[in-house]
Amino acid sequence: MNVSTEEAALSAAELRRREAVHLRRAKAADAVMRAVLFAAAAFSILVTLGIVYVLVKESVAFFRHVPLSDFFTDTQWTPLFADAHYGILPLLAGTLVTSAVALVVAIPGGTISAIYLSEFAGARVREAVKPVLELLAGVPTVVFGYFALLFLTPLLQRIHPNLPTFNMLSAGLVMGIMIIPYVASISEDAMRAVPKAMREGSYAMGATRLQTALRVVVPGAFSGIAGAYILGMSRAVGETMVVAVAAGQQPNFTFNPLEGAATITAYIVQVSLGDVPHGSIGYQTIFAAGLTLFLVTLAFNILGYMLRARIREVY
């Protein structure tokens, strides 16, 4: 007896029973999966809570030893020396200078590329250039660090012989080139979102491409472009390997990009490599520095998110 005749032999009642079981199982699976899916989505909240928990817990222990006033006003950061000073300012200055150099490269570079790709380039050029920009974003940052230290710095030293081996200028320049694709890509999205009718109106008035781009498209996409800048800033502040390799690891309270200095991220790397004992003040400093970094980038991210969200507003 084969299967189909076997089924045919079953009573109608049995068939109905089997179908009900089947249906119940499918519904149970559906309910279970709904819960599993929700748990997966909610997991990301746990990640954030974990970050905040770890950073705050160790920072609280740190600030029991070090008053907040020292942390924000002392101009020396020597937590691992006998004469320990815990002023975050040198690290903040290093972070600020390298980021500023990076933005001087990334903002014009990113904006010009975006305007060109969105308003000037033909479809063929756009399709050819975009993957190249993506590749630029995909190169591991430690490779960019190598490039800054062993290619760009010697090159700059030919122009300016007194430039030290570790300096914030070449780290910042390379970081800027690295950030161009991020700024370009988000700015271009924002410019594309500007309705065609606005461009056509402008052309109808006799405006050229450049006039239309600068006076109609860029202002129309302003919030999105500003969001791209803020995101670029956040990237620059959080970038680690380029500065750890090329800017040096000596905390140095200076605003001169021709000198070497440590950034917040470079300091964390340096201490992690040194194998500080768990629970020591040296261990806690990297979490206090990390909390500072987290709060700065969080502020940037929220601001950038709000600005980019405004692109979706109607015109």
Partner 1 sequence: MSVAADPRAIERIARANERRDAAFAVLGLLVLFVALLVLTALFVDLLIDGWPRLNWEFLTGYPSRFAHRAGILPAIVGTFAVMLVTAAAAVPVGVLSGVYLEEYAPRNWLTTVIEININNLAGVPSIIYGLLALGLLVHQFRLGESILAAGITLALLILPMIIVATREALRAIPSAVREAVYALGATKWQVMWHHILPYSTGGILTGVIMGLARAIGETAPVITIGALTFIAFLPDPPFKAEFPFVSFEWLTAPFTVMPIQMFNWVSRPQAAFAVNAAAAGVVLIVMTLAMNAAAIVIRNRFRRRVRW
**Under the criterion CB under 8 A, does residue 262 sit at the interface with partner 1?**
no
- The only residue of 88, 163, 183, 244 in contact with partner 1, by rule CB under 8 A: 244
Return the residues of window 61-90 that contact partner 1 according to CB under 8 A.
none
Q: Given the rule CB under 8 A, which of 45-53, 60-68, 83-91, 193-201 is the region that contacts partner 1?
A: 45-53
Query: From CA 152, how far away is CA 39, in angstroms rounded?
Result: 48
| DSSP 3-state of 278 | coil
Tell me whether residue 196 or residue 278 sits nearer to partner 1 (CB atom): 278
Per CB under 8 A, 153 contacts partner 1: no
Closest approach of partner 1 to the CB of residue 55, in Å:
7
Asked if 121 and 108 touch (Cβ cutoff 8 Å), the reply is: no
Alpha helices, DSSP H only, in the chain?
3-9, 12-65, 68-73, 89-115, 123-138, 141-147, 153-159, 168-192, 196-204, 209-212, 218-220, 222-238, 241-246, 264-273, 281-309
- The nearest distance, CB 315 to partner 1, in angstroms, is 24
Binding residue for partner 1 (CB under 8 A) from 13, 42, 68, 159? 42
Contact status, residue 185 vs residue 225, Cβ threshold 8 Å: no
**Backbone conformation region of residue 24, classed left if phi is above 0, alpha if psi is from -120 to 50, else beta:** alpha
- Contacting range for partner 1; rule: CB under 8 A; set: 63-71, 85-93, 107-115, 186-194: 107-115
**Toward partner 1, which CB reaches closer, 75 or 211?**
211
Instruction: Tell me which residue of 207, 230, 228 sits closest to 217, measured CA to CA.
Output: 207
CA separation for the pair 220, 65 (Å, rounded): 51
Site for partner 1 in 110-149 (CB under 8 A): 112-113, 115-117, 120-121, 129, 131-136, 138-147, 149
Candidate segments 5-13, 68-76, 193-201, 231-239, binder of partner 1 by CB under 8 A: 231-239
Window contacting partner 1 (CB under 8 A); options: 73-81, 85-93, 192-200, 297-305: 297-305
Q: Does 172 bind partner 1 (CB under 8 A)?
A: no
Contact between 280 and partner 1 by CB under 8 A: the answer reads no
Three state DSSP letters for 177-216: HHHHHHHHHHHHHHHHCCCHHHHHHHHHCCCCHHHHHHHH
Q: Taking CB under 8 A as the rule, which mask of x and - marks residues 179-218 in contact with partner 1?
A: -xx--------------------------xxxx-x-----
Tokens 């390379």, located at residue: 174
